[in-house]
Amino acid sequence: MPEFGLIIDGRKGSADEWLDIRNPATGELVGQCPVATRARLDEAVAAASRAFKSWSMVPDQERVEAVQKIAGVIEANAGELAALLTREQGKPLKGMGSEFELGGCIAWTGATAALQLPVKVLDDSSQARVELHRKAIGVVGSITPWNWPLMIAIWHVIPAIRSGNTVVIKPSPYTPLSTLRLVELISEVLPAGVINAVAGKDELGQAMTEHPGIQKIVFTGSCATGRKVMGSAADTLKRLTLELGGNDAGIVLPDVDPPAVSEKIIGGAFLNNGQTCAALKRLYVHESIYDEMCAALAAAASQIPMGNGLDENNLQGPIQNKMQYDKVCSMVDEAVAMGGHALCGGSPTGGPGYFYPLTIIRDVSEGCRLVDEEQFGPALPVIKYSDIDDAIERANRSENGLGGSIWSGDLDKAAELAGRLECGTAWVNIHGDIRPDVPFGGVKQSGFGVEFGQEGLEEYTSVQVVNIAKGGV
């Protein structure tokens, strides 16, 4: 069994306490995670602070080349990382699973390397030259979740490094091993201290958000935890980027052919077994095609093989942990008790692992948790509507606002309706399609700040204006 360690100042370190990390498909031990103390966190922050003094002054082209080297290292070790990711997270190797996630890591790293932060000239007159500079902030603290542990780590740390910051990252205690190994590999091509990894329980994350040596926190996770992050970061006035939960609504217009779009809707809903913030979480379907759409969705979902992700024939894995598994079970049971009908799935499969079949629930509406809350699992409620204005209002009633989608053959009408959705990203005839060159973020309780693209890179900088008077002293 490989040995995993904390990565601090370019060195691999041990700990006095360890967490057992188990495969959610089998319960088998994958490895042990070192638990960092507050003292080890202090060491990591101190190392990042020292490294920042030089890394922030490195010529921009050298940072570009460093990030390109990181992409190469990830690609060279993608097979090892994907297998480890499947074993600790549960997602399959194939399909939209671990190999897909590693491909995303490589693509996002390469795209971020190509971004620039040029000086913007605001005025260049006979009286003055005024320039706007983007400067690195300092030490960035990254706190990542268990659903896409490597991809989201890359989303956090690569723009931080590219823009001249240094990083201390803490992965989820459910999926720490692949992140520790990733950081170990990245640290081999960076100066010591530019990237550091600590691991441990939830209280370590709070220690990071409170730490006076960390200037910015990037957090991806639940809305409830995001509020705690914001509160504990207040005393030190940290910069924050919060990508929080979503309860994304899709609205299907009556001109849609249900069998033609069912697979795309299923793909948007059950990406990573539904354990994706921007997955489609509730689907509003016009009454004229409601029965046909429900049947088409159930038929499409029933064809997707589920099982141990190390079996390359499987395209869906287990729910990652028991807490989330119990939540999904409870929400589906409540929906059925309130009159919902499960067209496929609807109850645990039994046996080892946290497996829950892909589930389509019809005849539900607002007032049950499966519609009103983020289920973050393989259960999609399908809700009937008759009036499009009412459907838009119901979709917008959620306190969340991460993504949403409109499904229609009339692209102009669909685009107009998409603009009425209260969310950070509105898709037409697709859901959950994110790109490294397009900003992504939420509104309302789904957080603030954006990731990806030029706007995402600028989130890791502060603005300095240089105002030069030309009239002489």
Q: 285: which DSSP letter?
A: E
From CA 111, how far away is CA 109, in angstroms rounded? 6
What's 248-428's CATH class?
alpha beta
Residue that has been written with the tokens 């005393």 in this structure: 235
Instruction: Say which CATH topology domain 6-244 has.
Output: Aldehyde Dehydrogenase; Chain A, domain 1 (3.40.605)
Give the span between the Cα atoms of 195 and 408, in whole angstroms: 46
Please give the chain's pLDDT, 473 residues, in tens.
678 999 999 999 999 999 999 999 999 999 999 999 999 999 999 999 999 999 999 999 999 999 999 999 999 999 999 999 999 999 999 999 999 999 999 999 999 999 999 999 999 999 999 999 999 999 999 999 999 999 999 999 999 999 999 999 999 999 999 999 999 999 999 999 999 999 999 999 999 999 999 999 999 999 999 999 999 999 999 999 999 999 999 999 999 999 999 999 999 999 999 999 999 999 999 999 999 999 999 999 999 999 999 999 999 999 999 999 999 999 999 999 999 999 999 999 887 999 999 999 999 999 999 999 999 999 999 999 999 999 999 999 999 999 999 999 999 999 999 999 999 999 999 999 999 999 999 999 999 999 999 999 999 999 999 999 998 77
DSSP state letter for 279: S
47 touches 167 (CB < 8 A): no
Range(s) within the chain of domains with CATH label 3.40.605.10:
6-244
pLDDT at residue 351 in the model: 76
DSSP result, 135-168? EE-SEEEEE--SSSHHHHHHHHHHHHHHTT-EEE
41, amino acid identity: L
Choose, from 105, 223, 277, 368, the residue flagged as catalytic. Answer: 277
User: Cα(312)–Cα(367) distance, rounded to whole angstroms?
Assistant: 39
Respond yes or no: is residue 243 known to be catalytic. yes
- 277 tagged catalytic: yes
C-alpha pair distances (Å), 57 with each of 64, 217, 404: 13, 22, 41
> What are residue 447's DSSP bridge partners?
243
For residues 360 and 362, give the distance between their C-alpha atoms in angstroms, rounded to a whole number.
7
> Strand (E) positions, 416-460?
425-428, 447-448
> Which one, of 50, 154, 140, 27, lies nearest residue 101 by Cα?
154
Q: Which of 99, 101, 184, 243 is catalytic?
A: 243
**What is the end-to-end Cα distance of the chain in Å, rounded?**
69
For the chain, percent helix, then strand, then coil, each to nearest 5? Answer: 40, 20, 40
Q: Residue 365 phi/psi, 5° resolution? A: -155, -175
Structure tokens at 219: 């957090």
Query: pLDDT at position 1, please?
Result: 67
**Per-residue DSSP letters for 71-132?**
HHHHHHTHHHHHHHHHHHH---SSTTSHHHHHHHHHHHHHHHHT-----EEEEESSSEEEEE
Outline which parts of the chain fall under CATH 3.40.309.10. Answer: 248-428
Residue 455: enclosing H or E segment and its boundaries? helix 453-458
Q: What are the two backbone dihedrals, phi and then psi, of residue 220, each rounded to the nearest 5 degrees?
A: -120, 125
Phi, psi of 469 (to 5 degrees): -75, 135
Neighbours of 453 (CB within 10 A): 18
For the entire predicted model, the pTM comes to 0.97
